[in-house]
Amino acid sequence: MLPVIDYKACPFEGCTFRKWIVIKDVTLYSTWKEGRKSVAAVKNGQVVTGLTGVHITYAPDRVQVLQPLPELRLQAGDIILRYMYRGEGFADIWAKGQWRKEYDCTFITEKDHAGCLRDCAAKVISEGRKDWWGPGETSEGLIGWAKAEDQFDCMDSLGGDSKCDNPESPSSSAAEMPTSIEDARIHVEAELRTPEGQSVRRESGSRIHAEAFRHCSDMQNVCG
C-alpha cells in the first residue's frame, strides 16, 4: 500500500545526521506532510543540524527481469518493485510477494545504463517517485523540515571533505566569499549598509579625520 514511509531514514552509504552546510537557499517547513507551512528560511552557506529523516515512496521503481533469478524465484519478464535505496547498490525491494530489505541489487541496470556490477539480469523500465525529508535545526534553535537531497553538503561521513569536520569555522564559509572584484565590491557595500557596517564606517571616518588633523598640525606650512 502506497505511500511507503521509512522513518529515521538516511538513504545512502555514509549518510549521517550532523551539521550540514546549506548549498542553496532553503525554506524550512513545519512538517514533511501535506498542509505544511513555512517556518524559516536558511541561506546558502548557513549551517543547520540534521536531526533525522523520513523517506517516502509514492511510487516504486519498476524493474524487469531479463533472465532467471533463482534466489528470488523470478523468471524473465517478471517485475521487481524497488523502494528506498540504501547505498552501495542495496535497496528495499518487493519480489514475488515478499519484502527483501537491504537487498543486493547490483544486478540491476539503471535507465541511463549505469549501476550493474554483476550478471545484469534486470533493468529499470520506469523510475518511481520518492522524497527524502529531513528536519534541520538552525543556529537560532528553529527546527523545520526540508527535502534533503541536493540542498545540503556534509551529509556524507565518507566524503572526506575537511570543511565538514568543523562547518562553522571561518574557513568553511569560503564558498560564500566573492569570487570577482565586482562581487567583492557588491559584498563590501552590502556589509557597510548593515548596522555593524555603519558603525565601522563612522569609526573609520573619525580615525581618518583625527589623523588628518594631526598631520596638518605637524606640517602647518603645507596645510595652512
Summarize pLDDT for 57-70 with one digit per residue, the tens.
999 999 999 999 99
What is the pTM (predicted TM-score) of this model? 0.69
pLDDT beyond 80 at 10: yes
Are residue 195 and residue 165 in the same domain, yes or no?
A: no
- pLDDT computed for residue 193 by the predictor: 62
Site of grid cell 562553522: 168
Q: What is the mean pLDDT of the chain?
A: 82
Sign of CA dihedral 75, 80, 86, 87: positive
Residue 81 banded pLDDT, cuts 50, 70, 90: very high
Cβ partners under 8 Å of residue 117, min gap 6: 89, 106, 107
Domain assignment present for 121: no
Are residue 12 and residue 104 in the same domain, yes or no?
A: no
- Domain of residue 210 covers 181-223
Residue 114 banded pLDDT, cuts 50, 70, 90: very high
Q: What is the pLDDT of residues 152-185, one digit of tens each?
A: 999 988 888 888 988 876 444 444 444 455 554 5
Are residue 137 and residue 48 in the same domain, yes or no?
A: yes
CATH number at residue 26: 2.30.30.40
Among the listed residues 131, 83, 72, the one whose alpha carbon sits nearest the alpha carbon of residue 107: 72
Domain assignment present for 126: no
Are residue 9 and residue 110 in the same domain, yes or no?
A: no
Residue 215 host element (H or E): helix 195-218
Are residue 84 and residue 193 in the same domain, yes or no?
A: no
Beta bridge partners of 135: 145
Are residue 48 and residue 73 in the same domain, yes or no?
A: no
Residue 186 banded pLDDT, cuts 50, 70, 90: low
d(CA 82, CA 91): 7
Are residue 154 and residue 47 in the same domain, yes or no?
A: yes
